[in-house]
Amino acid sequence: MEVNKCRECGKELTHDEIGLYRRLVNRGAKDFLCIECLAAYFRISVDVLRKRIQTFKADGCTLFF
Ligand SMILES: [Zn+2]
């Protein structure tokens, strides 16, 4: 199985980070950003993104399961 890495910093991505990227940026994405680089991209804090992940999970978003 291929390991997905952040296209900015090369960090290995978690399932949550990939789901978040797909949800916020592009559902069909083939490359991704880690949560830190995604926060920088949107100019918001990592904390806000972590809360977003929790919200999406609570909503039952299928991208996270
Ligand atoms: Zn990164």
Q: Give 1 Cα–ligand 1 centroid separation in angstroms.
A: 20
pTM of the model: 0.88
Segment 35-44 shows an average pLDDT of 98
Q: Give 13 Cα–ligand 1 centroid separation in angstroms.
A: 8
Segment 21-41 shows an average pLDDT of 96
Q: Give 35 Cα–ligand 1 centroid separation in angstroms.
A: 7
Q: Give 22 Cα–ligand 1 centroid separation in angstroms.
A: 15
Per-residue pLDDT of 2-29, as tens digits, reads: 689 999 999 999 999 999 999 999 999 9
Reading the block at residue 1, the tokens are: 């199985």
Q: Tell me the backbone φ, ψ of residue 52, rounded to 5 degrees.
A: -60, -45
Q: Give 46 Cα–ligand 1 centroid separation in angstroms.
A: 12
What is the C-alpha separation between 32 and 13, in angstroms, rounded?
Answer: 8
Q: Residue 1 above 70 pLDDT?
A: no
Q: For the chain, give every domain's residue range.
A: 15-59
Reading the block at residue 17, the tokens are: 């980070």
